[in-house]
């Protein structure tokens, strides 16, 4: 039997937190390989529960902790050269290199190694793991896929050390590779291979791929050129099977467009889940399409135990809404927050993403947006802009800083918020302070 070793790399970044973070892409790749009769093993360098390398208890974020989120093990490391000017400490998150080496050494030699990648600016962790894997298994081919590999393919091919970089959906890419190695394989519908993980505190579910909107700062189209929704019954069965088998109650939806075509998709999914009386809690860390949240949807989410609701709003600038986002207006947000409040959500539970650091965005625009969200009764969640190759906004950002074209480290969300000198940093801190004080005013501490 052929063997594959899947690896989820460590992260090098200013901050990282396990916010329902799962190597979902890799778990799909693993499912495809198991279906094809391969023996699959996973080395999850972000395993918070590894006996030799447990993550420290999470001291903050009690709300998120109870839903299965938490800190990664971390150590401070020097900032890489392109980030030398960013006034923040830089860390390595995940299992220590020595534990990774031990983990690699105790495994039988695989026939191939499949490494995933997430944020484009997390490539140093990817390179590190490829180097360590090559040290232990010098003759085993390493395949690299995932978001970084898809969006920065040239960079990955030139610098990662992987033998092959596969852009796009890995189930398909790896099928071709497996066919090359072990002959014909039949395609089957897949459930992510969560059983490969040591301990799972929540599951991530994708009910669809892609998004038809095409906002100018978003990579969705680059990653999934077509919007495809899965069969509703298949999604319900997956949620039921996974949560029962793994003994978890927290489910995070990772869709780009969860609420689209609701009548034939998410509404039947939620109704069927309720019918099956599964005691689950749902989370939408990746913002929801706000416009789709009518009264009926707000009530459905409440009745179905959606306990983390995040809405994509980004900006109250009507000009920018028209120019760059096809998804929302200010009236939409006002109406939607009212619907959610009407459905029984508290102000604290209605989290609204506000984007900071977009090209050409001045602090006045952000300030107006913060105030607007607050006035509507929403809890502000500041999201820092990360420029993503292949998007229109990336070209605008590159006109200001051409270095982002060759150096993905400069896509880091922290860089974009705080780089550009002390004035910009001071403005960023002031805006963060304003967001916090507006939130405190909305929900005074008990």
Contacts with ligand B12 in 333-372 (CB under 6 A)? none
4, 5, 218, 239: which one binds ligand SF4 (CB under 6 A): 218
Other residues' Cβ atoms within 10 Å of the Cβ of residue 34: 16
**Cα gap 292→288, rounded to integer Å:** 8
Is 42 within 8 Å of 28 (Cβ atoms)? no
Residue 106 phi, psi dihedral angles, 5° rounding:
-80, -5
Name the segment binding ligand B12 (CB under 6 A); options: 66-74, 102-110, 129-137, 216-224.
216-224
Token code pair at residue 388: 């993503």
Residue 112 interface partner, choices ligand SF4, ligand B12, none, CB cut-off 5-8 Å depending on type: none
Contacts of 440 (CB under 8 A, 6+ apart): none
Give which of ligand B12, ligand SF4, none residue 327 binds (C-beta under 5 to 8 Å, depending on kind): ligand SF4
The binder of 357, among ligand SF4, ligand B12, none, by C-beta within 5 to 8 A per type, is none
Chain positions 219 to 238 lying near ligand B12, rule: CB under 6 A, are 219-220, 223
- Binding residue for ligand SF4, selected from 18, 256, 300, 365, defined by CB under 6 A: 256
For residue 81, give the 3-state DSSP assignment: helix
Tell me the sheet residues that pair with 185: none
- Over the window 309 to 348, marking each residue x when it contacts ligand SF4 by CB under 6 A and - when it does not, the resulting string is ---x--------------x---------------------
At its nearest, how many Å lie between ligand SF4 and the CB of residue 265?
Answer: 15
Q: At which residue do the structure tokens 């490539």 appear?
A: 123
Give the nearest distance from C-beta 365 to ligand SF4 in angstroms: 18
Write the CB contacts of 443 (distance below 8 Å, at least 6 apart in sequence). 346, 347, 348, 379
Closest CA to 380 of 437, 336, 325, 328: 437
Locus of tokens 């100018």: 216
Cα(310)–Cα(167) distance, rounded to whole angstroms?
A: 29
Q: Which residues are at the interface with ligand SF4 (CB under 6 A)? A: 211, 213-215, 218, 220, 256-257, 289, 312, 327
Residues that bind ligand B12 (CB under 6 A): 13, 16, 19, 21-22, 24-26, 28-29, 114-116, 118-121, 143-147, 150, 166, 169-171, 173-174, 204, 206, 218-220, 223, 254, 256, 285-286, 383-384, 386, 388, 411, 413
């Amino acid at each position: 039997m052929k063997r594959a070793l899947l690896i989820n790399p460590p992260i090098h970044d200013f901050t990282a937190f396990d916010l329902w973070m799962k190597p979902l892409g890799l778990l799909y790749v693993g499912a495809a390989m198991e279906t094809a009769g391969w023996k699959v093993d996973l080395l999850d360098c972000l395993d918070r529960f590894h006996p030799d390398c447990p993550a420290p208890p999470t001291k903050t974020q009690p709300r998120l902790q109870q839903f299965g989120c938490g800190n990664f093990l971390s150590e401070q490391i020097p900032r890489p050269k392109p980030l030398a000017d960013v006034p923040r400490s830089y860390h390595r998150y995940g299992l220590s290199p020595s534990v990774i080496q031990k983990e690699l050494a105790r495994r039988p030699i695989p026939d191939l190694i499949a490494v995933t990648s997430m944020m484009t600016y997390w490539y140093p962790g990817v390179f590190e793991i490829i180097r360590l894997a090559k040290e232990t298994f010098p003759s085993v081919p390493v395949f690299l896929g995932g978001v970084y590999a898809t969006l920065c393919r040239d960079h990955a091919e030139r610098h990662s050390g992987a033998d092959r970089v596969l852009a796009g959906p890995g189930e398909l890419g790896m099928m071709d590779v497996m066919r090359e190695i072990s002959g014909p394989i039949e395609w089957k519908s897949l459930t992510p291979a969560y059983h490969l993980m040591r301990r799972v505190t929540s599951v991530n579910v994708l009910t669809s791929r892609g998004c038809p909107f095409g906002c100018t700062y978003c990579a969705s189209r680059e990653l999934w050129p077509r919007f495809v929704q899965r069969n509703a019954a298949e999604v319900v069965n997956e949620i039921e099977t996974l949560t029962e088998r793994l003994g978890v109650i927290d489910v995070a939806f990772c869709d780009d467009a969860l609420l689209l075509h609701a009548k034939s998709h998410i509404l039947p999914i939620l109704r069927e889940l309720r019918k099956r009386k599964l005691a689950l809690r749902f989370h939408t860390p990746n913002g929801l399409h706000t416009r789709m949240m009518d009264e009926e949807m707000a009530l459905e989410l409440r009745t179905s135990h959606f306990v983390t609701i995040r809405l994509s709003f980004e900006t109250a600038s009507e000009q920018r809404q028209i120019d760059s986002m096809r998804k929302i207006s200010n009236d939409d947000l006002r109406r939607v927050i009212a619907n959610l409040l009407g459905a029984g959500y508290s102000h604290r539970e209605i989290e609204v993403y506000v984007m900071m650091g977009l090209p050409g965005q001045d602090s006045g625009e952000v300030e107006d947006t913060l105030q607007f969200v607050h006035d509507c009764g929403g809890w502000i969640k500041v999201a820092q802009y990360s420029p993503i190759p292949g998007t229109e906004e990336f070209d605008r950002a590159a006109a200001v800083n051409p270095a982002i074209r060759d150096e993905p480290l400069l896509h880091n969300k922290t860089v974009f918020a705080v780089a550009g000198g002390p004035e910009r940093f001071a403005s960023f801190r002031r805006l963060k302070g304003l967001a916090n004080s507006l939130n405190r005013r909305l929900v005074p501490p008990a």
